Amino acid sequence: MAQHRSLPRSFFQRPAGEVAPDLLGHHLVRRLGRRSLILRIVETEAYLGASDRASHAWNDRRTQRTSVLFRRGGVAYVYFVYGMHYMLNVVTGGADDGSAVLIRAGEPVAGSEEMRVRRGLERAPRAGDLAGGPGKLCRALAIDSELNGAPLDSGPLILAEGSPPAPHEVAVGPRVGVAYAGAAADWLLRFAEEGNPHVSRPRL
């Protein structure tokens, strides 16, 4: 098993709009017993906090669900939507910021067979089938609300150094599924590795 070098806390304690593109290419490591499921992150979205109508922290809205979102950067924020999907975010910035980065897609690096089973797929998956979307990604890595608040530098879920794309290989666009958010719906806070087939739809 390869050694993982965790990203330092300081990496996350910056604005979400910086962390989101910088996360591309790094590795999301899910430890399950002795096994490690590893995805290389290929798509992210930034949610800026109180000023961002698409964010759960919009208008400084603090509830039981969003409490983790207001912690200091470097922990996971996991929530449940549509009655069936979990979403994985990385909390960014400082305490009371409310900002985070949604991990939208990854390409398999290790453990793809177990991911295929967890996703309920019978045959060899095509690009994007395993983790080409935030709900799929959580399913593939067995991520649920138990990981809400978990630190990301050690433990069952780790963000480790990978192989980031060159800056000119990063595509930018508006976020997915936030049409209700007024002007914020048009903000260019979605980032993906240019041309990577594991990116979710609609493609950038």
Partner DNA sequence: CGGAAGATCCACT
Partner DNA sequence: GTGGATCTTCCGA
Residue with tokens 């922990």: 75
Task: Give the contact letters, 16-45, x = binds to DNA (CB under 7 A), - = no.
Answer: -----------------------------x
Q: Which is nearer to DNA, 2 or 188 (CB)?
A: 188
Q: In Å, what is the CA distance from 104 to each residue of 1, 36, 57, 63, 123? A: 26, 20, 19, 24, 23
Residue 12 binds DNA (CB under 7 A): no
- The window from 2-10, 31-39, 157-165, 174-182 that contacts DNA (CB under 7 A) reads 174-182
Residue 63 binds DNA (CB under 7 A): yes
Cβ(47)–Cβ(110) below 8 Å: no
- The window from 26-34, 60-68, 109-117, 185-193 that contacts DNA (CB under 7 A) reads 60-68
Cα–Cα dist 159/73, whole Å: 13
Q: In Å, what is the CA distance from 98 to each residue of 38, 101, 158, 167, 201? A: 27, 10, 21, 26, 27
Residue 3 binds DNA (CB under 7 A): no
DSSP state of 58: G
Closest separation in Å from C-beta 60 to DNA: 10
Written as six digits, the tokens of 146 are: 């138990």
153, 176, 185, 194: residue in contact with DNA (rule CB under 7 A):
176
Cα–Cα dist 85/66, whole Å: 17
Our CA angle for 102, 121, 113, nearest 5°, is 80
Q: Please give the size of the binding site for DNA, defined by CB under 7 A.
A: 37
Residue 112 binds DNA (CB under 7 A): no
31, 72, 85, 149: residue in contact with DNA (rule CB under 7 A):
85
Residues at the contact surface with DNA, assessed by CB under 7 A: 45, 47, 54-57, 61, 63-66, 69, 77, 79-85, 87, 89, 100, 102, 119, 133-137, 145, 175-178, 180, 200
